[in-house]
Amino acid sequence: MDKIVQTIADELKIKTSQVENTIKLIDEGNTIPFIARYRKEVTGGLSDEVLRTFGERLTYLRNLEKRKEEVENAINEQGKLTDEIKNDLANAVTLAEVEDIYRPYKQKKKTRATVAKAKGLEPLANIILAQEETKDIKEIAKEYINEEKEVKTVEEAIQGALDIIAEMISDNPEYRKMIKQIIYSKGVVETKATKPDERSAYEMYYDFSENVNKLPSHRILAINRGEKEDYLKVKIVKDEEKIIEKIEKDIIKGETQFTQYLKDTIQDSFKRLIEPSVDREIRSDLTEKAEEQAIKVFGKNAKQLLLGAPIKGITVMGFDPAYRTGCKIAIIDETGKVLDITTVYPTEPQNDVAGAEKELVKLINKDHVDMIAIGNGTASRESEMFVSEMIKKCDHKVLYTIVSEAGASVYSASKLATEEYPDINVSIRGAISIARRLQDPLAEFVKIDPKSIGVGQYQHDVNQKKLEESLAGVVEDSVNKVGVDVNTATPSLLSYVSGINKTIAKNIVKYRDENGKLKERKELLKVPKLGKVAYEQCAGFIRIPDGTNPLENTAVHPESYKIAEELLKSLGYETKDLKDIDKLTEIRKKLASVKVDETAKKLDVGEMTLKDIIDELSKPGRDPREDMPKPILRQDVLKFEDLKEGMILTGTVRNVIDFGAFVDIGVKHDGLVHISEMSEKFVKNPSDIVSVGDIVKVKVIGIDQERQKVRLSMKGV
């Protein structure tokens, strides 16, 4: 355990005491959001993101130790365990290294070497390797001819012995380590086209090479996909001469009758056994690291999308664009209740602009629609052009915005959507989801499999289990950061609250339906299957806006109510004063002047916890998403033909990838800001500059009319 503690402390650059305390909290069954928010004193204030990485590394390192133990026992059972092997295992830092150490002792399937060993040729292999015998090799080999064991000639005996040596060389962990080091420092990944004359998305890789250690993750995944789709042949070019020379130097002991045999065997071992498996391992290692990066980017983007600013108190028309099947329309009021649904056909092939306009203007005026949310999928731009003209004919001002419709169709056909809207057609449910995403992105996106949110790169190519785990963590962190109104939340939203699973979430809703609104957090303990442990984990993230105690609408945990009350009392107030606007203004001023260190000692509470309590009392019930960028609201549409180089535009970041960001500037396709155009300074990672949902100013620097592509720059704008 000490080794694991030290490793995590070094990697995350934190104290060993922080690591030990955090491991204890994780092992006691506390969730990451709970530890991040309510155990800051214990962890030293580690963030949810750091804690997620911490959890992953802890699992990996524990598995590594377990595997080391298994390998040591397996070698020991064969009676071959030495102090050197023990030492090598103790120093191994990856599972791959452990497997390399175990390779010579592993039960092998039938190989040329195992066949030769069965024929009794191992002693001959040892004689050749020792290179001490002066008697002619062919004379020695005669002693191993055995009709019964199918060794019929001298040549067959020698070849069998050399096959055993080739496998011994291949199984040597030191050689493999050395070869990998050479490839990682100087190796080159080379790709060639399998069909050079065929156009494809992989043309830049038709004749391409880049150093193994410089290959960025998006290129690794693109090359993998190109190879899988049979457009590319991939090869790792390495310094074979240097590798062979190093192995020869270690094995050959001067010029003897065995020298040429050994040289040929080293060559054979490298080409036939070592190179294919090392290449596979390196490709696998590169892919794993690239996938980790892709999953990280995907998670970061998803978090930004989930934490998008809600637009409350408005009536929204959800507009799900399409061609042949018509545009699906759903109008919902400020509570998300469906007021009207319809289907109109303003796009091709019907082009019924007049009919669609008449029907929608009537509905907008009737329901007093404030805003239209248009899905960003097929026919989105044509729909936008139609909407921008149509809203000019309404009785009042109506704005529109483009909303991500990723996963709307998946949600529409889901069991959850059927339960929510049993009487509404599948095709219309997508429009409801689009409208609700504008009102409350988080509450709507949690209903969808996070993989379908569609903000990332190569999400279908990466390890799906790891992606699912990572995204579940992202959703959980986002939901708990915002908090959940227990009296209005859906089971989907509640199931992501710390300590609450799907069964408990359904039980909460059932309890609410049967007993009416919950008035205090303590009432949760009456919910079936929600015991004291789950209550401790979830209570601080549950909000009751009109509960009996104003603290129930803050992130102050019930375990700290007494401290919060004492703090207010020391300032001359009570908790009920938090509901009085005038008194709240006074409380804020007094809280701002509190000396945290002195007060923390007086109240016998940690400084970090006290700071959090002060923040919450200063803004009870405030949604942290209010600080996030609001969507761009438009009344007019920009056509691709209107674009000119040098134009300065405002756009919304829709996706952030390794090589830049895609920005919606109001034309049919999102424009690309390449990483080199993001700042005058060097940018290592686009995520350091922008996030999904950010509103940015960009300059048009390139227009490709034929492919309808726009190049953008953020430099000097």
Q: Which residues contact 46 (CB under 8 A, 6 or more apart)?
A: 14, 18, 22, 35, 36, 40, 54
The verdict on whether omega for the bond into residue 349 sits within 30 degrees of 0, i.e. cis, is yes
Between 453 and 334, the more confident residue is 334
* DSSP structural state of residue 438: H
The predicted pLDDT at position 454 comes to: 60
* Three-class secondary structure of residue 643 per DSSP: coil
Q: What is the pLDDT of residues 221-245, one digit of tens each?
A: 999 999 999 999 999 999 999 999 9
Q: How far apart are CA 297 and CA 513, in angstroms?
A: 40
Residue type, 190: E
pLDDT in tens, 247-288: 999 999 989 999 999 999 999 999 999 999 999 999 999 999
Quick one: what percent of the chain has pLDDT higher than 70?
Answer: 98
- pLDDT tens-digit map of 98-111: 999 999 998 888 89
Tell me which residue of 403, 380, 389 sits closest to 669, measured CA to CA: 380
Average pLDDT, the chain: 91
Q: Could you tell me where the DSSP H helices lie in 376-523?
A: 380-390, 408-412, 415-420, 426-439, 441-445, 464-482, 491-494, 502-515
Question: Helices 122-130 and 154-171 meet at what angle, rounded to 10?
Answer: 70
d(Cα 335, Cα 496) in Å, to the nearest integer?
21
What is d(CA 377, CA 371) in angstroms, rounded to the nearest whole number? 19
Q: Which domains does the chain have, with CATH numbers?
A: 2-105 (1.10.10.650), 112-296 (1.10.3500.10), 316-439 (3.30.420.140), 509-627 (1.10.150.310), 640-713 (2.40.50.140)
pLDDT of residue 458: 67
* Mean local confidence (pLDDT), 575-592: 90
**What residue type is assigned to position 647 of the chain?**
M
* Strand ranges in 212-269 using DSSP code E only, listed in sequence order: 232-237
Is the pLDDT score of 451 beyond 80?
Answer: no
pLDDT for res 456:
58
Q: 316-320 and 327-332 as β-strands: parallel, antiparallel, unpaired?
A: antiparallel
Check residue 637 and give its pLDDT.
Answer: 63
Write out the H or E segment, with its range, that includes residue 423: none
Decide if pLDDT at 329 tops 90. Answer: yes
Q: What is the mean pLDDT of residues 204-211?
A: 94
Q: Cα dihedral sign for 118, 124, 126, 129?
A: negative
Instruction: Label residue 657 exposed, middle or buried (CB < 10 Å: 0-12, 13-18, 19+).
Output: buried
pLDDT digits (tens, 9 = 90+) for 401-410: 988 888 888 8
Q: Write out pLDDT tens, residues 605-632.
A: 999 999 999 999 999 888 888 877 777 7
Neighbours of 558 (CB within 10 A): 18
Lowest mean pLDDT among 160-169, 330-339, 363-372, 412-421: 412-421
CA distance 196 to 184: 29
Return the number of other C-beta atoms located less than 10 Å from residue 717's C-beta.
Answer: 12
| 596-603 and 561-570 helices, crossing angle to 10° | 120
Local confidence band at 135 (pLDDT 50, 70, 90 cut-offs) = very high
Q: C-alpha distances in angstroms, 709 versus 203, 665, 667, 704, 717? A: 17, 12, 10, 5, 20
pLDDT above 90 for 157: yes
The residue type found at 698 is V
Contact status, residue 383 vs residue 637, Cβ threshold 8 Å: no
CA angle 182, 183, 185 (to 5 degrees): 65
Which residues, other chains included, contact 524 with Cβ-Cβ below 8 Å and sequence gap of 6+? 486, 508, 518, 530, 535, 538, 539, 542
User: What mean pLDDT do residues 117-141 have?
Assistant: 93
Q: Would the pTM count as exceeding 0.85?
A: no
Distance CA 36, CA 18 (A): 12
In 3D space, the residue among 38, 96, 8 whose CA is nearest the CA of residue 556 turns out to be: 38
What tokens were used for 42? 């214990």
What percent of the chain clears pLDDT 90, i.e. is strictly above it? 66
